[in-house]
Amino acid sequence: MFWTLELASHLEDAPWPATKDELIDYAIRSGSPIEVVENLQELEDDGESYEGLEDIWPDYPSQDDFFFNEDEY
Residue 37 included in any domain:
yes
Residue 32 included in any domain:
yes
Residue 51 included in any domain:
no
H helix count then E strand count, the chain: 4, 0
Residue 63 included in any domain:
no
Residue 27 included in any domain:
yes
Residue pLDDT, tens place only, 13-69 = 999 999 999 999 999 999 999 999 999 999 988 888 999 999 998 887 765 555 556
How many structural domains are present in the chain?
1
Residue pLDDT, tens place only, 9-19 = 999 999 999 99
Residue 57 included in any domain:
no
Residue 5 included in any domain:
no
Domain extent, residue 36, equals: 17-43
Residue 61 included in any domain:
no
For residue 17, say if its preceding peptide bond is cis, omega within 30 degrees of 0: yes
